[in-house]
A and B are shown apart, each in its own frame.
Chain A
């Protein structure tokens, strides 16, 4: 099973600042990685797939990148609606499909 490790668990950021979230895979997942955003009481929403491709309707301030087994989600200038929990998911080698434990982005 591929283990996905996200860091930090909580990120405190001021509105307008840049947020950088990390996700590490226990083995290669190629570019088969997705990022989701989840707000309280809501279902997850797909942000990024293929490690770096924004899903339909996702603002350009969200970007994804990869280096080996390390993946990064960057939010260039945090808006109030971006405070949420973010999950990564690998879909390269399954079952099982696996998610990271999540990073909560909170207001500083």
Chain B
């Protein structure tokens, strides 16, 4: 059974940093691209970032480019999102999602971790 468990969310001041983690199990983590998708309170889904299976290719939404860094440790079956220079508009639930093997949609999602950026 595929399981994705996010952690690392919390309250942070504007301009601060936070690192999210997503522990994966139930599949061959190193064989799949992974992604982060966020959802602001009461709003829709927004794709944030994606990393290839090897970690060699990363993509970002313009809204986070230059501030967020996606990475992975295939030896630990863990996905990360380093978030710097956080803004109030980054407040959201952040979901980790497994990317389909041959296309760019999301068959599996974690339960999410809440990031609140506020003073």
Using a CB–CB cutoff of 8 Å, the interface residues on chain A facing chain B are 32, 34, 36, 38, 42-46, 49-50, 55-56, 87, 89, 91, 94-102
| Interface SS majority for chain A | loop
List 4 additional contacts besides A89-B105, A95-B47; criterion CB under 8 Å: A34-B105, A36-B45, A46-B106, A49-B100
Of the candidates A49, A87, A91, the one whose C-beta lies within 8 Å of that of B44 is A87
Q: Which residues of B contact A87 (CB under 8 A)?
A: 44-45
Q: Which residues of A contact B105 (CB under 8 A)?
A: 34, 46, 49, 89, 91
Query: Which residue, of B37, B47, B95, B105, has the highest number of chain A Cβ atoms within 10 A?
Result: B105
Q: Tell me how many residues of B have a C-beta within 8 Å of chain A.
A: 23
CB of B34, distance to nearest CB on chain A (Å): 13
Q: A30 vs B107: C-alpha distance in the bound complex, in angstroms?
A: 19
Asked if B110 and A44 make an inter-chain contact with CB atoms under 8 angstroms apart, the answer reads no
Question: What would 13 A/B residue contacts be, using CB atoms closer than 8 Å?
Answer: A32-B104, A46-B106, A49-B103, A49-B105, A89-B105, A91-B103, A91-B105, A95-B50, A95-B60, A95-B61, A99-B45, A99-B47, A101-B44
